[in-house]
Amino acid sequence: MEQHFYPTEEKDKKTRYEEFLTQYAGLIEGESNAVSVMANTCAALKEAFGFFWVGFYLVEGDTLVLGPFQGDVACYRIRKGLGVCGTAWAEGRTLVVPDVDAFPGHIACSSLSRSEIVIPIIYNEVIKGVLDIDSDQPDDFDDTDREELEQVVRLMAETLYT
């Protein structure tokens, strides 16, 4: 199974996400192991978009625990309501943070991180965890990233939990 998620820089971001989603649907189809699917999701997103850090934090009780990721080593546990990840979980919505230094309580796993997007994984109205993506550039995420990454996460949740 050789597959590559090559970046297609010449196309606009929305088109790149749409191409990504088509290929990604094939990548995860039929696999129900959460660690495996999340690991491949990180690898595919990193390869296609070159994100600085991409990974999952998963709900365990009142805490998010580090799951599969690509990038520098990261903190293991984030309490509900803390940091960008814990706030996205508590509020049940995607957070786009253009300047991490301006976000109260931001948890700095890497001093190089400048902006961040966190998307909750919601299935049957239950939050299973979050997808966290960091950039080393300020203001690197917008509504297109939010809409398209929410689709990626929705597709993943349907594949894993249906």
Q: Is 83 in the site for ligand SME (CB under 6 A)?
A: yes
Q: Is 90 in the site for ligand SME (CB under 6 A)?
A: no
Nearer to ligand SME, 86 or 129 (CB): 86
Greatest Cα pair distance, the chain, in angstroms, is 44
Nearer to ligand SME, 135 or 159 (CB): 135
How far apart CA 118 and CA 116 sit, in angstroms, is 7
Q: Is 109 in the site for ligand SME (CB under 6 A)?
A: yes
Q: Is 89 in the site for ligand SME (CB under 6 A)?
A: no
Closest CA to 65 of 94, 93, 89, 98: 89
Which amino acid appears at position 106 of this protein? H
Contact segment (CB under 6 A) with ligand SME among 38-46, 108-116, 135-143, 154-162 equals 108-116
List of residues 6+ apart from 41 with CB closer than 8 A: 24, 28, 56, 68, 131, 152, 156
Region of 72 (left: φ > 0; alpha: ψ -120 to 50; beta: rest) is beta
Per-residue binding letters, 6-35, with ligand SME (x by CB under 6 A) = ------------------------------
Nearer to ligand SME, 132 or 140 (CB): 132
Q: Taking the alpha carbons of 92, 96, 102, 107 in that order, is the dihedral positive or negative?
A: positive
Task: Kindly state the smallest distance separating residue 156's Cβ from ligand SME, in Å.
Answer: 18
**Residues in touch with ligand SME (CB under 6 A):** 53, 74, 78, 83-86, 106-107, 109, 113, 116, 132, 134
